[in-house]
Amino acid sequence: MDKAAIARQNFEEGYNCCQSIVLAFAPEMGLTKDTAALLSAGLGGGVSRLREICGAVSGMAIVLGMLHGSVNPLDQAKKTALYTEVQELACAFSGQCGSYICRDLLGLPPGKDDPAPSERTSQYYHSRQCGDFIAKMAELLEKHLEKDA
């Protein structure tokens, strides 16, 4: 199964947008499912339903940070390379989806949302394009990583 399908399935199981991406790439990062889910738990809904950066984009940044980041805070070359990758993929996502801001993607008004997550019902999944956005980010990220391999 490709990463887009895995990420979409994660979302349909109830994981948030960020978790859906991070869980799809957990094996490549050497993370257990539980660690991946916990690491990304607060970044759904555009950072805990603040409706800012899309959780799928945040998930991509986590994956690239784990795979291409540096533990040396003074390694400017690695930071620059990582930030370049993240920006390129975020902009590619925005170009294909219209934005990388959660509220814009969902057509929501400015401001934060109630912090209580929406109940995951068939109506919820029908009314949201999040599954499509997650699949698109997973596809972009998978192609990017294959290119680097």
Separation CA 130–CA 90 (nearest Å): 16
Q: What is the pLDDT of residues 5-48, one digit of tens each?
A: 999 999 999 999 999 999 999 999 999 999 999 999 999 999 99
Phi, psi (deg, nearest 5) at residue 127: -90, -10
Residue 46, both tokens? 């555009």
Can you tell me which residue has the tokens 């929406």? 118
Q: Cα–Cα distances in Å, from 63 out to 34, 52, 128, 130, 138? A: 15, 19, 24, 19, 10
Mean pLDDT by runs of 10 across the 149 residues of the chain is 96 97 98 98 96 98 98 97 98 98 95 88 88 98 91
User: pTM (2 decimals)?
Assistant: 0.96
